[in-house]
Amino acid sequence: MTDAQPLYARVKDHILANIRSGAWEAGRRVPSENELVESFGISRMTANRALRELTAEGFLSRVPGVGTFVREQPALSSLMELRNIAEEIAQRGHRHSSRVMSKREIESNPALAEEFEDRSLKHLFHLLIVHEENGVPVQLEDRYVNPLVAPGFLDHDFTRTTPTAVLLSAAPVDELEHTVEAVLPSLEQQRLLAIGGLEPCLGLHRRSWSLGRVATVVTLTYPASRYALYSRHRTTARGTVSQ
Amino acid sequence: MTDAQPLYARVKDHILANIRSGAWEAGRRVPSENELVESFGISRMTANRALRELTAEGFLSRVPGVGTFVREQPALSSLMELRNIAEEIAQRGHRHSSRVMSKREIESNPALAEEFEDRSLKHLFHLLIVHEENGVPVQLEDRYVNPLVAPGFLDHDFTRTTPTAVLLSAAPVDELEHTVEAVLPSLEQQRLLAIGGLEPCLGLHRRSWSLGRVATVVTLTYPASRYALYSRHRTTARGTVSQ
DNA sequence: TGTATAAGGTTGTATATACAGTATAGTCGA
DNA sequence: TCGACTATACTGTATATACAACCTTATACA
């Protein structure tokens, strides 16, 4: 069952594990290529590849003549897309409620394994929730969660706390990917959201990463008549900062 | 001038240029490592690095024992950045064209005055453009422009340059507001985009500010089957930087 | 005709070696 | 004491070589 992983991948995993566990904090120097050569018994080119890829992936930074260092990682706050729908509805002075339609451990499949970028993932957590504003369905949440990132995920009562809040407390989020599309609802979606088949919906597909692992994949479906997505950004000299 | 670029980077640029120009379309086989060795006079490891990195960056896909191929670039539009649709299409190796359906000065009205946050605004520029990818309509651009910010706006030939490019060169953008919704197309939109009435569309409504004034208000309509909106963000110690 | 085998091309990984460029610490000398 | 020089460590790139795994095609055989 040992996956016969390539050597450079083992070195990468070793370094990532140290970062994930907190043993190596940001700014700390990681072993040089020559030190990895000695400790792993590999060639310098193999050590170089491991460090170079981790640098391209944003986990390390390298300075010629000096060394390789753990990069400053997450400022976990204020990701505009990670707003909590319960808070959002409360902010409008309305009542938020949710119905958990499904909450269980499922087996993986090739499509999911690819989305999670992990073929060895055998089981996943799945969640299907209808969120209501003053009793009217406004969002359908179809979520898969990586057990490696949040082992105790299913133990929570999701009518009292939202999955997003649980995940944020379990692991820092360092990367987000969003895809937004317009869709017509499936029959099941029509039933769960109590809408007709001709009402267009917004589909928001989101993947979030935590220290190099895909933590969760979620599809949010909003009936167009009841919800729009909104964002406001201010540009700075450095880049785009969400508000 | 000569940047003394590394060899692997030159190979990468060569391949990317062929993809961007459209010379190599999606699915086409790219030269094998050994062919690159011959044509560039480099070692196989250098060719391997170029192809491997382009694969990691999503431009190529490789199949052991078969070859390396240009990957299908998804039709995705970046939500957070002000990107030029012409560049975006060119990056996928496709041909961009546009038809200017309307381009004139109009009188303001209360609704527009409110959107522009300026009641004294008597006149505005209006633009209606259909953007096409390989001759197929993919975006309907319905734009209003503040003459105070870009007085000579109407003088440009918008089949040669995009409104976004003109506005960016006229004034810095310091704030953006987006609203995304799913809509069914109006009769006119059906006609301009050459779609049926049952095809849901993404409506992206954007206001941009320049030095405290609303510079432009634009509604972009994308047929769902031909376009999706996409954004990917990585958090850093500084904030959220769009990629 | 159908099947097994062989050959050749392709990617994937690993090593040993070499040289260039950069930063740092220490030494030597004025 | 200060500056120039040197040794050393580290990263960055490039090459030649080797072997494994995989796929396709052609060939030989039953």
Q: How confident is the model over B106-139, as pLDDT tens digits?
A: 999 888 988 898 888 889 999 999 999 889 999 9
Confidence band, pLDDT 50/70/90 cuts, at residue B192: very high
Nucleotide nearest to B31 (CA to C1'): C10
Residue count (chain A): 243
Average pLDDT, chain A: 83
User: Which residues partner with B176 through β-bridges?
Assistant: A233, B208
pLDDT in tens, B20-41: 788 998 899 999 999 999 999 9
Least confident span in A97-101, A193-197, B84-88, B137-141: B84-88
Confidence band, pLDDT 50/70/90 cuts, at residue A12: very high
Answer whether B178 sits within 8 Å of A233, measured CB to CB: yes
Confidence band, pLDDT 50/70/90 cuts, at residue B81: low
Answer whether A80 sits within 8 Å of B240, measured CB to CB: yes
Q: Which residues contact B155 (CB under 8 A, 6 or more apart)?
A: none
Q: Which residue is nearest to nucleotide C9 (CA to C1')?
A: B65
Q: How many helices (H) and strands (E) does chain B have?
A: 7, 12
Measured between beta carbons, the chain B residues lying within 8 angstroms of A176 are 231-233, 235
* pLDDT for position B101: 95
| Superfamily for the B76-233 domain | Chorismate lyase-like (3.40.1410.10)
Q: Is B38 on the interface with A (CB under 8 A)?
A: no
CB of A66 lies under 7 Å from some atom of strand C: yes
Q: Is B184 on the interface with A (CB under 8 A)?
A: yes
* pLDDT for position A223: 87
Answer whether A238 sits within 8 Å of B235, measured CB to CB: no
Sequence ranges of the domains in chain B = 7-70, 76-233
Residues A149 and A170 sit within 8 Å (Cβ to Cβ): yes
Mean pLDDT in residue range A214-228 = 84
The single-letter DSSP state of residue B184 is P
Domain A80-242 has CATH 3.40.50.720: no
* Listed residue (B16, B87, B90) closest to B50, CA to CA: B16
Measured between beta carbons, the chain B residues lying within 8 angstroms of A177 are 230-233
* Listed residue (B4, B111, B32, B207) closest to A231, CA to CA: B207
CB pairs under 8 A between A and B: 134
Q: Is A100 on the interface with B (CB under 8 A)?
A: no
Measured between beta carbons, the chain A residues lying within 8 angstroms of B140 are none
CATH number given to A7-70 = 1.10.10.10
Half-sphere exposure of A41 (CA within 13 A, CB side): 0
Q: Give the span between the Cα atoms of B188 and B205, in whole angstroms.
A: 18
Average pLDDT, chain B: 84
* Listed residue (B52, B56, B67) closest to B11, CA to CA: B52
User: Which residues partner with A105 through β-bridges?
Assistant: A125
Q: How many CB atoms lie within 10 A of CB A208?
A: 25
Q: Which stretch, A2-6, A178-182, B144-148, B207-211, has highest mean pLDDT?
A: B144-148
Nucleic acid strand D: bases within 7 A of protein CB? 9-18, 21-24
* pLDDT for position A45: 95
pLDDT in tens, A157-202: 998 888 888 887 887 777 777 777 888 899 999 999 999 888 888 8
